[in-house]
Chain A
Amino acid sequence: MDLGIDPDQLGTCVQCGLCLSSCPTYRVTGDETFSPRGRIALMRQVQLHDAPLTTEVTEAFDTCIQCLGCEPACPSVVPYGHFIESTRNALTEHRGSRRRAIALWPLTKPRLLRLGSSLLAIAQRLRLIPARLGLPERLPLRRLPHRSSGTDVYLFTGCVMDAWQRDVHFATQRVLEAAGFGVTPTGDAAGCCGALHTHAGLAAHGERLTENIDATLDPSIPVIVNSAGCGAHLKQHSSLQIFDAQEFLAEHLDRLPNITPLEVNVAVQDPCHLRHVQRAHLPTRTLLRKFVSVVTELDDDGLCCGAGGAYSVLQPDMSKEVRERKLASINRAQPDVVASANPGCSMHLSATGVITEHPMVLVDRALAANSSTT
């Protein structure tokens, strides 16, 4: 079966195996079928040698979290991300894309998404939602409306994050304003970026959503994204000037006031799409060091937490096993709070009782504490 991968590119993997330790699913299984090297070997079998798509082969492809931790580890610079995206698309077409498309449809309907989310919040308070679904602990019942303060930058508000974590958007906007930037939240007109669609093997849907954003926003204004997954997708697919929130603010650190840092020990959890795709995980530290007393590194070299967009729902067992490794690392570091710049990761971790905050929320809190004392 043609997986749509360029055969020359498929030949670039020399099977050295240096990717193995960076692969969360290999780490927890010890089975090479669940490693990047193994998956590439299977892609070759399927595409070049017409091997059958057995259950085991599709399982190998489906269980990839697409964290892309293998890419920075690869000495031959194999574009694994393209391989797996292409493979997922081919598989989705092969198996029929309707179910996935329907499941992701609400993301493109922001009002409906928020209404549904509020209903979920009510159900949650009535204790009708089992904890195992892994929803955030308390979904918001109501959201304050967005407001614009200028047109220096856009704040990309997205879909699920706007419904579930609008407070993080408000915090980000306040920090940007403290640095002297007038902010326009993009709101419903721009909507969903399409990252989850592309991730799920619906690349064409994903592209249409990104095109809509490009057509809606003014290309001369920088777009600040505070969800690592959305930022990574937009950096790859959009023609706009996309910046991760911490990345942007770390570049303008001098515009933020010098204040007494918050007395808190923060462990940084790097979302994979910030660290491996955007390769912009260091600015989170630059920014946090100015505003919190202790920044602690986890000792797992940025191994994925297992969230992976919709992965935690589609592959719950593997997702939890991968999370166990992250939790063990967090336990060794003993922080007060874990900073995570991606809503998926923070929800996945906080479902186990770990206290997580978006880095922008911590910075906002430090700024607020300072202004209330001076």
Chain B
Amino acid sequence: MNTADDALLADLKRVLGDRVRADSAERALLRRDASVFDGGSAGPTCLCESTEEVQRVVRIALAHGRSVVPRGAGTGLAGGAIPLGAPVIISLSRMNRILEVDTNSRIAWVEPGVVNLDLTKHLTPLGYHFAPDPSSQQVCTIGGNVGNNSGGPHCLAYGVTNAHILAIEVVLADGEIVTLGGLDAEPSGYDLRGVFIGGEGMLGITTKVAVRITPNPPAVSTLLLSFDTPRDAAATVSAVIAAGIVPAAMEVMDQGITIAVENYVNVGYPRDAGAVLLAEVDGLPDGVAIDAQRISDIGREHGATAVRQAASDEERMLLWKGRKTAFGAVAQIAPNYYLHDTVVPRSKLADTLEEVYRIADEHDLAVVNVFHAGDGNLHPLLLFNGQEPGIYDRVHAAGAKIVEASLAAGGVLSGEHGIGVEKQPYMHQMFSEDDLDHQERLRHAFDPACRSNPGKVIPVGHSCADIQSLRNVPEEVWG
């Protein structure tokens, strides 16, 4: 810490007292989020408890010429919350109150630090839930969901976070407090709420959110279909959608991950199947029964070797437990994993998957696949031992090839993890210079000085001049 930091710290402490931390321990452990990227040492961490505190911290940082990075639970997988250039970290985890639940209007006002699953648990006795359900839902926060426009298995029918946010209170980079969107059915003017969602903290800091709450379905049916190959499973998924059915969720796991999951949770996933499809339909009981039967029939037409329907809620929960702990199960195969996230058109799922296996093979890496098949969202898990010298270069190279293959198939860079710093180098492959210029101008409209989470998403050369110095960290980035 130098004297400039001392002055900054003194100002911050006047607002937050001992809720500012700037010791070496805190600064070191906030270098990272859940991704493999290291952002360098963080600046002071401010554990804010109100919108006003966030506003004052933003203004103090600005006065000291420092940028700010918002942080929820730090579960992002694209490095969106890593601290480039020792910024002031605005931690929102203490802003975790559920302020108001209105079941008549199906709206809840929450603070950004509310944990996704805590909100659903709070709503359960009322017969409601918050629909977006990322695999990290037990820890990730609503603010983070807004920042990344997060998805989850059940977003196939219900839509991703964007479809469940009505209004957002935001502290802009200059400290101004604005509310984007509104509770009216058709808010007037441009949909700035929609612009902000998925902004990865670069358009301002979320301090309050009005979320849509969803009634729990009266009936749910969960099917587990076994196939000889991932291709058959992918074909079934496309055929189901083509038949006009939109299941609540359709998740595919390949044999590698299915065996690992079964070893871990032991709920009767078939070890001998080349792939399994977990499909869930919900709604009114009669419709659910019909759709379940149709999915089962379509599956058999496409080579399903077995179809199992969960007989009880308990069995259903166990099957989902298997799917949701899939990332845990890979620990048996290798100590480290790199979870990728791209999207391809459903019709290209099977081809892209084969390409993913080939790429992994070529780079001498183990790979298993678990994916939100219904919306073409691939999640290849590259498995490795981080201690092996040079391994991160290989993982990085394979990751780049997977992105390339997905784009070639007509896909996009990210389904739900965001761009952060992970996909930043690939933005040129997806967008033209013109596209990137427009994205940059949009960003400038919210944050002209590039003080809010700088150095992310928009590639170097298109980003604000004053943050070029932030990018002198790449040698550490893969550490």
| A and B bind | yes
Q: Which of B203-234 contact A (CB under 8 A)?
A: none
Give complex CA distance A333, B115 in Å.
21
Q: Which of A32-76 contact B (CB under 8 A)?
A: 32-33, 37-38, 41-42, 45, 51-52, 54-57, 60, 73-76
Q: What total of A-B pairs shows CB separation below 8 Å?
A: 102
Closest chain B CB from A340 CB (angstroms): 22
Nearest-CB residue, chain A, relative to B387:
A11
Q: Does B136 contact A (CB under 8 A)?
A: yes
How many residues of A are in contact with the other chain, CB < 8 A? Answer: 35
Complex contact A14–B139 (CB within 8 A): no
Complex contact B328–A30 (CB within 8 A): no
Complex contact A33–B26 (CB within 8 A): yes
Closest chain B CB from A207 CB (angstroms): 29
User: Which of B273-281, B285-293, B331-339 touches A?
Assistant: B331-339
Most buried by A among B91, B139, B327: B139
Complex contact A12–B331 (CB within 8 A): yes
Complex contact A73–B91 (CB within 8 A): no
Nearest-CB residue, chain A, relative to B92:
A30
User: Which of A16-24, A175-183, A244-252 touches B?
Assistant: A16-24
With A30-B47, A30-B96: A17-B328 Cβ-Cβ less than 8 Å: no
Most buried by A among B25, B34, B138: B25
Complex contact B29–A38 (CB within 8 A): yes
Give complex CA distance A283, B26 in Å.
41
| Residues from chain B with Cβ under 8 Å of A21 in the complex | 115, 117-118, 138-139
Complex contact B28–A41 (CB within 8 A): yes
Nearest-CB residue, chain B, relative to A12:
B335
Q: Does B94 contact A (CB under 8 A)?
A: yes
Complex contact B328–A11 (CB within 8 A): no
- Contact pick for B387, options A8, A52, A54, CB 8 Å: A8
Q: Does A263 contact B (CB under 8 A)?
A: no
Q: Does A31 contact B (CB under 8 A)?
A: yes
Give complex CA distance A24, B338 in Å.
28
With A8-B387, A75-B327, A76-B335: A41-B75 Cβ-Cβ less than 8 Å: no
- Contact pick for B28, options A8, A45, A55, A299, CB 8 Å: A45
Nearest-CB residue, chain A, relative to B19:
A31
Complex contact B47–A31 (CB within 8 A): yes
Q: Does A131 contact B (CB under 8 A)?
A: no
Q: Does B74 contact A (CB under 8 A)?
A: yes
Complex contact A42–B25 (CB within 8 A): yes
Q: Which of B1-54 contact A (CB under 8 A)?
A: 21, 23-26, 28-30, 32-34, 45, 47
- Contact pick for A74, options B94, B136, B328, B386, CB 8 Å: B328
Q: Does B201 contact A (CB under 8 A)?
A: no
| Residues from chain A with Cβ under 8 Å of B472 in the complex | none
With A17-B34, A33-B21: A75-B325 Cβ-Cβ less than 8 Å: yes
With A56-B24, A77-B328, A299-B121: A20-B139 Cβ-Cβ less than 8 Å: yes
Q: Does B93 contact A (CB under 8 A)?
A: yes
Give complex CA distance A15, B47 in Å.
21
- Contact pick for B138, options A11, A18, A30, A54, CB 8 Å: A18
With A20-B139, A21-B115: A51-B30 Cβ-Cβ less than 8 Å: no
Closest chain B CB from A363 CB (angstroms): 26
| Residues from chain A with Cβ under 8 Å of B28 in the complex | 41-42, 45, 51
| Residues from chain A with Cβ under 8 Å of B151 in the complex | none
| Residues from chain B with Cβ under 8 Å of A51 in the complex | 24-25, 28
Closest chain A CB from B260 CB (angstroms): 11
- Contact pick for A56, options B26, B136, B329, CB 8 Å: B26
Nearest-CB residue, chain A, relative to B116:
A21
Most buried by A among B29, B30, B45, B75: B29
Closest chain B CB from A20 CB (angstroms): 5
Per-residue CB contact flags for chain B residues 74-101 toward chain A (1 = under 8 Å, else 0) read 1100000000000000010110100000
With A42-B25, A51-B24, A56-B24: A15-B91 Cβ-Cβ less than 8 Å: no
Q: Does B252 contact A (CB under 8 A)?
A: no
Give complex CA distance A16, B91 in Å.
17
Nearest-CB residue, chain A, relative to B96:
A30
Q: Does B113 contact A (CB under 8 A)?
A: yes
Give complex CA distance A370, B81 in Å.
61
Q: Does B73 contact A (CB under 8 A)?
A: yes
| Residues from chain A with Cβ under 8 Å of B91 in the complex | 30-31
Complex contact A32–B335 (CB within 8 A): no
Give complex CA distance A231, B73 in Å.
34
Nearest-CB residue, chain B, relative to A13:
B335
Nearest-CB residue, chain A, relative to B26:
A33
Complex contact B328–A76 (CB within 8 A): yes
Complex contact B136–A30 (CB within 8 A): no
With A21-B117, A30-B94, A51-B24: A41-B29 Cβ-Cβ less than 8 Å: yes
Most buried by A among B26, B32, B47: B26
| Residues from chain A with Cβ under 8 Å of B386 in the complex | 11
| Residues from chain A with Cβ under 8 Å of B23 in the complex | 54-56
Most buried by B among A8, A76, A77: A76
| Residues from chain B with Cβ under 8 Å of A41 in the complex | 28-29, 32
| Residues from chain B with Cβ under 8 Å of A33 in the complex | 21, 25-26, 29
Complex contact B29–A42 (CB within 8 A): yes
Complex contact A16–B34 (CB within 8 A): yes
With A30-B93, A31-B47: A14-B75 Cβ-Cβ less than 8 Å: no
| Residues from chain A with Cβ under 8 Å of B21 in the complex | 31, 33, 56
| Residues from chain A with Cβ under 8 Å of B34 in the complex | 14-17
Complex contact B75–A18 (CB within 8 A): yes
Closest chain A CB from B365 CB (angstroms): 16
Nearest-CB residue, chain A, relative to B332:
A77
Nearest-CB residue, chain B, relative to A30:
B93
| Residues from chain B with Cβ under 8 Å of A57 in the complex | 25
| Residues from chain A with Cβ under 8 Å of B117 in the complex | 21
Complex contact B328–A20 (CB within 8 A): no
- Contact pick for A16, options B94, B113, B115, B136, CB 8 Å: B136
Give complex CA distance A60, B21 in Å.
13
Complex contact A54–B25 (CB within 8 A): yes
Complex contact A16–B24 (CB within 8 A): no
Give complex CA distance A168, B459 in Å.
66
| Residues from chain B with Cβ under 8 Å of A15 in the complex | 32-34
| Residues from chain A with Cβ under 8 Å of B331 in the complex | 12, 75-77
With A8-B387, A31-B91: A18-B29 Cβ-Cβ less than 8 Å: no
Complex contact B136–A17 (CB within 8 A): yes
Give complex CA distance A304, B45 in Å.
26
With A17-B73, A21-B115: A73-B26 Cβ-Cβ less than 8 Å: no
Most buried by B among A15, A41, A42: A15
Per-residue CB contact flags for chain A residues 317-331 toward chain B (1 = under 8 Å, else 0) read 000000000000000
Complex contact A17–B75 (CB within 8 A): yes
Sampled A-B contacts (8; CB under 8 Å): A8-B335, A11-B336, A17-B34, A33-B25, A56-B26, A57-B25, A75-B325, A77-B328
Known: A32-B26, A76-B328. 10 other contacts (CB 8 A): A20-B75, A22-B138, A30-B47, A32-B29, A32-B74, A33-B26, A42-B29, A45-B29, A51-B25, A56-B26
In the complex, the 10 A-B pairs of residues with the closest C-beta atoms, listed nearest first: A75-B328, A30-B93, A30-B94, A41-B29, A56-B23, A56-B25, A76-B331, A17-B75, A20-B139, A21-B139
